[in-house]
Amino acid sequence: MNLGRTAIVLGCAAMLCLSGCATVQGPNGQSSSNDPLEPINKPIFNANLWLFRNVLGPVNQGYEAVTPKFFRTSVSNVFANADMPYVFVNDFLQGRVQLGMSGLSRFLVNTIFGLGGIFDVANKLDLPKQSNNFGVTLGVWGVPQGPYLVLPFYGPSSLRNLPGLALAIYTAPPYYFPSSNAQWAWSGMGIINTGHVDAPQVRMVEDAVNPYVFARNAWEQHEQFLIDGGKVNKSQLLEGLDLPPATATTDSAAATP
């Protein structure tokens, strides 16, 4: 793998940073039964938060200061569109053909008529954004989650989700860019976009009584939500998430894991 494609690996990891199997939480935020690696996970989690707070946070502030909102929205749309092959491939692998066709249609519509995803035309055609990954596919196939993991720069994951990292890279269109410079530029812009898109979620995690437990449970419950095909309602998703007090800011309270 050349340097440009190495950049794609790093960029994909950063773009999935702090992304979202039900878990049992003990009193006062005790360890989950799926988290035997907490002594290792927690320092990595704190390091990731520090990196976000002290590097990506300031970068995001500068990014928002020098770019208009429509530009930031367009950039986010392009990266969301580039993620769609990974999403609809997993839809098909899970046997969810209707969702897969919806995801494929969304990708084609936004790529062709949305100028590579700059404009979210598909949303107006009732082809909404989806979330999916290969860890969810393995969960649908009956593979157990295994230990919860927090990966440097990446964030919440599990043993079951590790094979999906390679699939995410190889289904990303930028991996096939012929120019290393273009791959580096894409990855750099992806890291900046991640800092911008994930900022509300990070603030919500930081406002929790126990940020580590909050992030872990939010990720595991969202993963189970996807495995169950969206059959878990919102109130069930919020159970055991160690939510911040009611006096938290409106923006933090309104954000979703």
> How many angstroms separate the first and last alpha carbons of the chain?
34
Give tens-digit pLDDT for 135-187: 999 999 999 999 999 999 989 999 999 999 888 888 887 788 888 899 899 99
Radius of gyration of the chain (CA): 18
Determine if the pTM surpasses 0.85: no
For residue 221, what are the contacts with CB-CB under 8 A and spacing of at least 6? Answer: 22, 23, 232, 236, 237, 239, 240, 241, 257
Give tens-digit pLDDT for 99-131: 999 999 999 999 999 999 999 999 999 999 999
Give tens-digit pLDDT for 49-65: 999 999 999 999 999 99
What one-character-per-residue DSSP string does 9-65 give?
A: HHHHHHHTTT--------TTSPPPTT-TTHHHHHHHHHHHHHHIIIIIHHHHHHHHH
pLDDT classification of 229: cutoffs 50, 70, 90? confident
Would you call 144 helix, strand, or coil by DSSP?
coil
CB 218 within 8 A of CB 241: yes
C-alpha span between 130 and 125 (Å, rounded): 14
Q: How many whole angstroms from its chain centre is CA 103?
A: 17
For residue 64, what are the contacts with CB-CB under 8 A and spacing of at least 6? Answer: 72, 196
Q: Compute how many other C-beta atoms are within 10 angstroms of the C-beta atom of residue 191.
A: 20
Residue 187 parent element (H or E): helix 180-207
